[in-house]
A = this chain, B = another copy of it.
Amino acid sequence: MASIPSTDHTTLSSTPQDTLVLRMDKAARALLAAGTTEADTQTELQTLCLPITALWCRILRFDPAVPNWPDRDRCVVPSSAMLPLLSAMLHLTAPDTQDLSATVDYGQHPAVEIATGPAGQGMAAAAGMALAEQQLAKRYGRSLVNHRTWVLARDSDLATGVALEAAQLASRFGLSRMAVLVCPSPLTDPTDFSDSLARFGASGWSVRKVRAHDLGAIMSALQAILRARKPTLLACMPECCHTLPDLPAEDELTGPWSPTARRGASIRRSWLRRLAQHRGRADFERELAGKPRQTMREDWGRLWRQTMRAAPNGSSQQAAFAGLGALALLRQDLAILAATSSTRSARRANLPIPFSHSAQPCGIQEHGMAGMLNGMARHGGILPCGVAGMMTIDRMRSALRMTALMRSKVLYLLTDDGLALSDNGGGWQPVEQLASLRAMPHLAVFRPACAEETFACWQAALNWPQGPALLILCPNPPPPRAGASRRAGHYGGPSHGGYLASCGAGARHVTLMASGPEVAIATQAGQHLSEQGLNVAVVSIPCWEVFAQQTPAYRAAVLGSEGLRVGIEAASSFGWERWLGADGIFVGMDDFGISAPANAVYERFGITAGAICEKVLARFLASGAQKDSSPTAPSSSRLEDLDMSLTITRL
């Protein structure tokens, strides 16, 4: 790695530059005052204006000409109320002067790093960016990666659970290049604000207070941040009767001639020279573009074949961890954050996972972890992967939503799925989680049934273009031949999201559809029903989102155009009408689980091959259909329940 150059953050002296900051501050205040914010927010904006201006003029690595330059400092604004500050700064420094009346939301300006999201979420994302910087700096050295993450927070952000979780993680990971600037809101009880500061102090942060109008104090606090060995929280305290010196705002301080712009441009030019000579340049640029090595495809296939030979009948969880291990070998930009719940279960199962050397342990702070994954993905140069227990997904949901909203590439492995959890009491199983995740735009939810399907799902998850992808994993190995192995009538494959696992010749009487561990149950039920003389097709549908993207012809071939459809999933029926139509039968659980061994739970909810056969046969008897049943659905007059009684799909 190249030698570390001097820090590039200018060392600071006094008066002439101070005047410059004060003039800029005056211009910024005028811009803020012209905005349409509420009075309370206006007070906060004015309080933070001088500290932010000082940061912007004297410290921040930012070139307005190339606002998305990779080694820029990240400036994260977690609350939309604080966005006018960012807007004012961009207005004063950027050459194509921003329209101040427009809000600078995510996607509208390359210098806006993240979508704000719910309170506190940005704090976690900033910690993720700082972690990404740390990891990239380790690989490429400070000559290429030498920036910081600044957060313009509100005090309400600091009080949220996600921010407090992220603060613990930031301290644990030693993210000394993260700094948060905040001021008390006029609506906040001063005790609450100082409690917030104390909580950050207790979380291993360096906490400082400065007077928000004292430029000298602000500058020395900012300089202390540059030297800090911990993440820093800088509280800017307003003074009621302070007036700033009355300096004229000068035009040449703004636009491309602004001190920020001049400093940013010069820093970026010298960075470009270093990049040109850096021996890791090709890798660096490829990873920033989010691309794998050209040999990735075959290496991945080769590693996977090895894995499959070693444990052909492993559980989907085992296979997914093997895939994660393979990915860690092939993609240096992979960064894994893992919650305790999953690391423990991996350790218990003695899985060959790359946790030992590359995964960052995130304890029980899953919400903070998920927020950090957002920041890592937005930082660039990193492929973030989160590993956590399936039951914790609700805690991560508001962070996951931001990932989907920003269409970021984040992989999630969710371990210990559902009923199959364990035989020492299943606890309170996930019921509605699958439906609630499938309802989220841009997110792909994979629930593979066996090791071979897991391979295809890994592949599809990596290729999923729209954003995050989840793999929902079961620790129990499926019975042999439950999954993707080729049988009569096999058509398509798991990489299509859904496929025909087996099917007899001739007109179908029944199509059994299932995902994950329930595919084995469907297969078994299919065998029983075949013995009764019915022509049964078994469909495994590990990913609805990918399946929905296939051609109508493919879907029609898989789902079939006649006979009864049965959906089997140890989860809520919500949304299954999409595939089952109105006369379909759903076998699952529309109630919360009970605490009992998995087998008992499956039996209690009637998710067994025997119960499925009974239901199917009862339906055929009730409709008076012959076993060589006509393609029409059973008459709807006999249906007991509306929830199951929308009409059968004909594709």
Contacts and interface: CB of A to CB of B under 8 A. Distances in A.
Interface of A: 36, 80, 103, 105, 108, 115, 117-120, 156-157, 159-162, 164-165, 168, 171-172, 191-192, 195, 198-199, 201-204, 340, 363-365, 367-368, 391-392, 394-395, 397-398, 401, 404-405, 424-425, 427-428, 431-432, 435-436, 438-442, 548, 552, 555, 572, 574-575, 577-579, 581-582, 590-592, 595, 636, 642-643, 645-651
Nearest to A431: B441
A515 to B, nearest CB: 16
Shortest 9 CB-CB contacts between residues of A and residues of B? A161-B161, A198-B202, A436-B436, A435-B439, A439-B574, A394-B398, A577-B577, A432-B439, A105-B595
Nearest to A364: B156
B120 A159 contact: no
Contacts of A157: 364
Given A394-B401, A575-B435, A646-B577, A364 B592 contact: no
A212 to B, nearest CB: 22
Contacts of A592: 404-405, 441-442
A548 B643 contact: yes
A118 B395 contact: yes
Contacts of A172: 192
A595 B440 contact: no
Contact of A581 (B425, B548, B552, B647): B647
Contact of A582 (B192, B404, B581): B581
Contacts of A645: 552, 649, 651
Contacts of A363: 156, 159, 192
A80 B425 CA distance: 11
Nearest to A103: B425
A499 to B, nearest CB: 15
Contacts of A581: 581-582, 646-647
B202 A435 contact: no
Nearest to A368: B161
A360 to B, nearest CB: 14
B643 A646 contact: no
Contacts of A442: 591-592
Nearest to A187: B340
Contacts of A171: 195
24 contacts: A80-B427, A103-B595, A115-B428, A118-B392, A119-B364, A156-B340, A159-B363, A160-B161, A160-B165, A161-B164, A168-B192, A198-B198, A199-B202, A202-B202, A405-B428, A431-B441, A432-B439, A438-B574, A439-B574, A439-B575, A441-B592, A548-B643, A578-B646, A646-B647
A650 B582 contact: yes
Nearest to A424: B36
Contact of A552 (B192, B367, B425, B642): B642
A363 B157 CA distance: 11
A161 B165 contact: yes
A143 B170 CA distance: 49
Contacts of A650: 582, 636, 647
Contact of A365 (B160, B198, B577, B636): B160
